[in-house]
Amino acid sequence: MNSPLIALESISKSFAEKNILQNVSMTVNRGEITTIIGPNGAGKSSLVRVILGLITPDQGNIKRSKDLVIGYMPQKIHIDPTLPISTCRFLQLANTSHDACHKALDLVGIPEVKNTPFHKLSGGEMQRALLARAILRQPNLLVLDEPVQGVDFNGQNALYGLIGEIRSSLNCGIVMVSHDLHLVMSATDHVICLNHHICCQGKPEQVTQDPAYLDIFGETALYNHHHNHQHSLQGKVSDDGGNHQHGEGCQHD
Amino acid sequence: MAVIINMGKGANMIDFLIYALLAGLGVALVAGPLGCFVVWRRMAYFGDTLAHSALLGVSLGVLLNVDLGIAVTAVCLLMALGLVALDHQGVLALDTLLGILSHSSLAAGLVVISLLSDVRVDLMSLLFGDLLSVTKADLWVIYSGAGIAILLLATLWKSLISITVEPELAAVEGVKVARVRTALMVITALVIAIAMKIVGVLLITALLIIPAATARRISATPESMAMVASLVAMLAVVSGLGASWYIDTPAGPSIVISATLAFCLSLGLKQKG
């Protein structure tokens, strides 16, 4: 029960001679929310695809728990309007039970759209419908790629709340990709700051004070997070004794 | 005496017509659901490319003295699998690749046919179909081909819908995406090979996409769209053949025109779903 759901060991992957992932190791445990943050093009989506088994890494090992069932919520989805498919039918692609689909829609708070054509859902409804499909196979690992994209601020908070509830009710591990740590601070247990390699990782409050994090997120990070320390002129933070871990191959101090 | 001969001739003509009708209906039946995938997955150009390569299949079949049905199916299949492989390489955008293969195989087919001076090949019937020359043997080929295609489509239906909606989600949920996608290509090649006799290589894609596009207006589920598309295609076959019989128009193009008329009429209906 305590074995990790999935463990990545020294994963590397390059596309067209460009190193997208370098020496990335991470584990995901049951009941734990891990958030991957990093700038655009940092390899977040590639890392997610490695976890999902959609791309095979060039180097490294992946250990999956034998009972691993993954529920995946893609960043966005485009369904050609020539394909007539109701939201309920869309969910049934994951689980043929009508009842289960209705319950999932209830859980994510959009029971009224079950007969609505999928391509007519609003941005927020679509995110919720995708989340409903992800939980329909009773997964023990949920992988959410930018789950709140295109959702307004209040909707984002509601969605993160919902994700937290789902974690408790399914007791599943969650891997989430996000641009912005501050929104997910309260909802995450572990943060991985990725820029091709793992720059730093740890609890959210440790990571936000990590020089590597500040280097990447720079100004935004400085202005958005709660200051409980002094910045030097370079944007570095004086060491407050936080025990963050640097990833292997990290060059900075 | 004269009366008997006339009756005999009349019965023969009815045979022709019944064979033509049965052949057309068989192809229309499978063109419905397959055409839906062509529309949903935006494969119209892909269908065109395979259809054009069918002409190359005919000319190679004549050149090598191989059964034409086998030659056409083989060339279509090779073209389909070759396209899958080339698309994976990602050297060129898919539509550029399709454009190159589509037109060069059409041109190569025409050139090879012109070089076969000792064989008379009816180019018009290859390009636009020759429904009225369908024989009993053709019917067997058409119905076995259509039967296999429908069986495969039915077996793979859920997976096919799933990879059409979102391939990565389908893969995470355990669908063998590459295998299902290849199967769809093979089915398309098979249907094109049997549809060639009916509407010819230049009009096959029309028989696939026009009924499906017509069905979209009045369908709220993928299944109803597939079934309505089959019905529209069958209706087009019946009315096209009727036109061919009464006003002596070429059968293949008349079928396509009938389908187009149905599509125009459907535009007046309110879009469902």
> What ipTM, to 2 d.p.?
0.84
Cα distance from A245 to chain B (closest Cα, Å)? 31
pLDDT at B141 over 70: yes
pLDDT at B132 over 80: yes
Please tell me which residue, A213 or A2, carries the higher pLDDT value: A213
pLDDT at B10 over 60: no
Pick the CATH number of B10-200 from 1.10.3470.10, 2.40.30.10, 3.30.70.2740, 3.10.440.10: 1.10.3470.10
Cα distance from A56 to chain B (closest Cα, Å)? 14
Q: CA-to-CA distance for A139 and B81, rounded, in angstroms?
A: 35
Give ∠ CA A135-A136-A140 in degrees, rounded to 5.
Answer: 50
Domains within chain A, CATH numbers bracketed? 1-69+149-157+179-253 (3.40.50.300)
CB contact under 8 A, A53 and B172: yes
Q: CA-to-CA distance for A99 and B256, rounded, in angstroms?
A: 43
pLDDT at B118 over 90: no
Q: What is the pLDDT averaged over residues A233-247?
A: 42
Please tell me which residue, A229 or B76, carries the higher pLDDT value: B76
Q: What is the pLDDT averaged over residues B27-50?
A: 94
Q: What is the pLDDT averaged over residues B130-154?
A: 92
Highest mean pLDDT among A61-65, A124-128, B27-31: B27-31
A69 shares contact with chain B (CB less than 8 Å): no
pLDDT of residue B24: 95
CB contact under 8 A, A84 and B173: no
pLDDT at B269 over 90: no
Name the residue among B171, B219, B221 with its Cβ closest to that of A54. Answer: B171
Highest mean pLDDT among A207-216, A217-226, B261-270: B261-270
Chain B residue at shortest CA distance from A88: B221
The pLDDT mean for chain A works out to 81
Cα distance from B39 to chain A (closest Cα, Å)? 7
Which residues in A lie closer than 8 A to residue B225 (C-beta atoms)?
84
Residue range A85-113, pLDDT digits in tens = 999 999 999 988 889 999 999 988 899 99
Q: Structural domain boundaries of chain B?
A: 10-200
pLDDT of residue A2: 66
Please tell me which residue, A104 or A236, carries the higher pLDDT value: A104
Yes or no: say if A85 and B165 are a contact pair by the CB < 8 Å rule.
yes
pLDDT of residue B30: 96
Residue range B167-215, pLDDT digits in tens = 999 999 999 999 999 899 989 999 998 998 888 888 999 999 999 999 9
Nearest of A156, A130, A135, A132 to residue A145 by alpha carbon: A130
pLDDT of residue A42: 86
| H or E stretch at A124 | helix A123-135
Burial of B7 (0-12, 13-18, 19+ CB in 10 A): exposed
Q: CA-to-CA distance for A58 and A77, rounded, in angstroms?
A: 28
Residue range A150-169, pLDDT digits in tens = 777 788 888 888 888 888 88
pLDDT of residue B37: 96
pLDDT of residue B188: 93
Question: For residue A143, what pLDDT band results from cuts at 50, 70 and 90?
Answer: very high
Residue range A35-56, pLDDT digits in tens = 998 888 888 989 999 999 999 9
C-alpha distances (whole Å) from B14 to each of A162, B6, B84 are 68, 12, 44
pLDDT at B70 over 80: yes
Name the residue among A77, A85, A94 with its Cβ closest to that of B173. Answer: A94
pLDDT at A244 over 50: no
pLDDT of residue A153: 79
pLDDT at A240 over 60: no
The pLDDT mean for chain B works out to 89
Question: For residue B127, what pLDDT band results from cuts at 50, 70 and 90?
Answer: confident
Q: What is the pLDDT averaged over residues A115-128?
A: 90
Please tell me which residue, A209 or B235, carries the higher pLDDT value: B235
DSSP of chain B: -HHHHHHHHHHHHHHHHHHHHHHHHHHHHHHHHHHHHHHHTT-HHHHHHHHHHHHHHHHHHHHHT--HHHHHHHHHHHHHHHHHHHHHHTSS-HHHHHHHHHHHHHHHHHHHHHH-TTS---HHHHHH--GGG--HHHHHHHHHHHHHHHHHHHHHHHHHHHHHH-HHHHHHTT--HHHHHHHHHHHHHHHHHHHHHHH-TTTHHHHHHHHHHHHHTT-SSHHHHHHHHHHHHHHHHHHHHHHHHHH---HHHHHHHHHHHHHHHHTTSPPP-
